[in-house]
Structure 1
Amino acid sequence: MTWEELFFDLAFVFALTQFSEQLHEDHSWFGTGRALILFVPVYWAWGGVVLYTNQRDMRSLLDRVGIITLGLVSLLMALTIPRAYDDYGLLFVAIYVAGRVLLTGLALRHLPSWRRLLVGPYGVFLLTGPLLLAGALVQGAARVALWAVAATVDLLSPWVARHLVAQSRVQAAHFTHRYGLLIILVFGESLIQVGAVAAHERLTFARFIAIAAAYALVSILWYAYFGYGLSDFRRALEQAPDQPDLRRTVLVYGHLLFSFGIITIAVSLVEMVPAPLDVLPSREAMLLAGGCALFLLTFAYAYWRIHRTIAWRRVGAGAACLLLVPLATLIPALVAVASLILVIAVMVVAEELVMRRQGGDMARAMGEVSADDPTDQGPATEPDA
């Protein structure tokens, strides 16, 4: 991973987390749907850069300047996202398309064929760009509908490309590190938003505890992902016979849901901190507990996709979060957050105990094998979650 990539990610994560402001203004079902529709192409643009830098050695000055310039594009685009459905729609599309054109221009120097350009991750904007532009030229439901079609095209493009062009393998360590960095940056930006809101409020004891609880909730989700997920993803990509299919489902689609789930959690935590002893309205409760459930169930799906085994602890924790949605509308917001922390903590402790037990069994097995054949260390295994 290069410094240019890290710099680009810092600029781009601001664009991703601007959706928190959009959801803060309208977190009804319709508002959440509108945010997700806009989130998809922005996330897809980031994914295109990740794939490009993964397949280049990035020693070229043109590549390095290009990635830094894309960071500026991301920063400018971020400023338009909260009002993209209002008066900044055309500006949002213009900046977005400019970034995609720049990335495609960089990729053209290396693509072996025009066919790969047209159906690959760099060329899909040739379809989505006109749809986004058409949506920017109209208002209201028509804009939402056209942009929803554009988001659908983005989501389907990897499956179409799979059947039309040969898919190349990626460098597993670099690819997973970039997606892991995205998650940690979105987590970090969520905490910054909580801190920014708290800084404008009088720091009472209840708010102090609420800030600590918000930090604890984000931290335990972070621990679950980086403790039991990222290394598993990397090993799976290294060993998968059909790596493109696995990276598409687990990393591309999975991290779309991971990121959006974190953003919804952040919105609800920002609402909770100013009045932690008040009861959460139903919409905020859904964003809070539903966001945690989305994160955990996506985590469970990733495990199933890699190991073809149901991760019962993760499924159970996700289901418990969903069950807390109606309860969260009856109890103080701080208690609702504490309940979610407890649910996720139980899952993490169970994961840790299983991992340690299986690690001990593996060590004993390796010791027995070594006694017979010192050169045979046995295969590495993952804990059955």
Structure 2
Amino acid sequence: MEDKKVTWIELFYDLLFVAAVSTTTNVLLHVQKGSIPQEYFIKFVLMLIPIWWAWTGQTMFINRFGKDFLHQRIFIILQMLFVLVMTSSLSIDFDQYYLSFLIGYIGIRALTAIQYLVVQNNEDGDRKKVAIFLGTCFWIGIGISLFSISFNSWIRYAVLYIGIIVDMIVPILGRKYLAKFPANTSHLIERFASLTLILFGESVVSTLFVLHPQKGDWNSILFSITSFILIISMWWQYFDNVDKKVNKSVQRVGQSVIYGHLFILLSLSMIAASIKLIFLHQIHYLFILIFVFSSVFVYFISTTIIFHQYRYEQHRLKIYHLGLFLGILGAFFISNLVIVVPNIIIMLELTLFFIIYAKLTTA
């Protein structure tokens, strides 16, 4: 497999999407009567999935066909303009900005589909078949999502997501084509890892900005230190696995990495929001307990499943590892249900869990 390195323009592209994710995460900070209204959580998911899929679509094009040519740079720069339009439309009043959000999303996806059709002219064999298949079939989902503009009620969201689901199913249905021209595993993992790294950094910066401990306020200082150790432990576990335990020479379609990172993205955003809400004491104990432990559970399961088949065989986790980690997480959750503990104790428990998770999976 050819060596493919992440380019600077790809990293710049990532920064714009991380800004979009960060803006979307802020929706989870709107608390009413001690909990996050269901409506806001749905809006968070509705906004985040198109952002993730738009980024993923262009990333996978570059993974298979990307060259640092002038015309491909121009395509990426044009996409950045649509990313800015989409990001500026992210708001808790999502309904009012739906049109501009849709324009941003459709613009990104259409440019990606066009790139497949352009590049197929210079390809042959399996590479040409993959480019034609994706460049043609992606227009089905794009067309369905664009048709949502015809509706004003909740139906437009249903139509938008039918289009996105069709778009996401296309690579799965075309697996027989993609298997003959597998993803560049090294570049694939590096791209998703780079996005995750920036998200970790964004979590640290945004969390410490909210906490902002005052001089002599030792509770805030302790909470800040605990939050930082928690995030560092998550970072350590993720990137030590990517760097040392993953066999990047494995040739696969890469769909477990692609779709699994949606749940990593969702859970990271939810964990970041949880830290802020726990510190601000604006939320009911039972709600935040369920919310934060659910977020950690999703993150743990996602990272475990994604990298399992890519890990060197001698480094693959055993079933007893899964039982141990779930047992620790379950024990903390149940004990906190039985005995109400201060918020800082919840943070310390989660930090301890991730330290153990990092230690046992990277040793």
Q: What TM bracket, shorter-length normalisation? A: 0.7 to 0.9
* Equivalent pair of 1:214/1:269 in contact (CA under 8 Å): yes
Q: Equivalent residue of 2:182, what SS?
A: coil
- Alpha-carbon distance in 2 for matches of 1:271, 1:313: 31
2:218 to 179, 202, 205: 205
2:57 equivalent to 1:48: yes
1:18 to 14, 20, 23: 23
- Alpha-carbon distance in 2 for matches of 1:206, 1:149: 47
Give a deviation string over 1:227-271, Cα, whole Å, max 9, x none: 1245444x1x5134xx11xx101x101211111110110111111
* Equivalent pair of 2:233/2:354 in contact (CA under 8 Å): yes
Larger RCO: 1 or 2 (CA < 8 Å, sep 6+) = 2
Q: Match for 1:332: what amino acid?
A: P
1:272 to 278, 282, 287: 278
Aligned residue number for residue 104 of structure 1: 113
| Distance of aligned partners of 1:148 and 1:315 in 2 relative to their CA distance in 1, 3 Å threshold | farther
1:186-335 maps to which residues of 2 (within 5 A)?
Answer: 186-199=199-212, 202=214, 204-233=217-246, 235=247, 237-240=248-251, 243-244=252-253, 247-249=254-256, 251-275=257-281, 281-306=285-310, 310=318, 312-314=320-322, 316-325=324-333, 327-328=335-336, 330-335=340-345
Q: Match for 1:294: what amino acid?
A: V
Aligned Cα root-mean-square deviation (Å): 2.9
Aligned residue number for residue 354 of structure 2: 344
- Alpha-carbon distance in 1 for matches of 2:157, 2:94: 8
| Distance of aligned partners of 1:93 and 1:166 in 2 relative to their CA distance in 1, 3 Å threshold | same
Distance apart, 1:63 and its partner CA: 1.3
Q: Equivalent residue of 2:77, what SS?
A: helix
| Distance of aligned partners of 1:128 and 1:318 in 2 relative to their CA distance in 1, 3 Å threshold | farther
* Equivalent pair of 1:303/1:311 in contact (CA under 8 Å): no
* Equivalent pair of 2:233/2:355 in contact (CA under 8 Å): yes
How high is the TM-score relative to the length of structure 2?
A: 0.82
Which deviates further from its counterpart, 292-301 or 138-147?
Answer: 138-147
How high is the TM-score relative to the length of structure 1?
A: 0.78
- Alpha-carbon distance in 1 for matches of 2:104, 2:19: 15
- Alpha-carbon distance in 1 for matches of 2:242, 2:16: 25
| Distance of aligned partners of 1:168 and 1:30 in 2 relative to their CA distance in 1, 3 Å threshold | farther
2:141 equivalent to 1:146: no
Aligned residue number for residue 380 of structure 1: none
Aligned residue number for residue 370 of structure 1: none
Ranges in structure 2 where 5+ consecutive residues have no aligned partner: 1-5
- Alpha-carbon distance in 1 for matches of 2:143, 2:158: 13
Ranges in structure 1 where 5+ consecutive residues have no aligned partner: 356-385
* Equivalent pair of 1:300/1:310 in contact (CA under 8 Å): no
| Distance of aligned partners of 1:160 and 1:333 in 2 relative to their CA distance in 1, 3 Å threshold | same
* Equivalent pair of 1:267/1:287 in contact (CA under 8 Å): no
Identity of aligned residues (%): 19
- Alpha-carbon distance in 2 for matches of 1:230, 1:284: 33
- Alpha-carbon distance in 2 for matches of 1:218, 1:291: 13
- Alpha-carbon distance in 1 for matches of 2:91, 2:317: 40
Distance apart, 1:188 and its partner CA: 1.3
Give a deviation string over 1:327-360, Cα, whole Å, max 9, x none: 55622221101101112212323334xx4xxxxx
1:61-76 maps to which residues of 2 (within 5 A)?
Answer: 61-76=70-85
Give a deviation string over 1:94-153, Cα, whole Å, max 9, x none: 111112222222332212599745752x55552333443344554554344334433432
How many residue pairs get matched?
342
- Alpha-carbon distance in 2 for matches of 1:39, 1:282: 25
Give a deviation string over 1:16-38, Cα, whole Å, max 9, x none: 23221122237445543443343
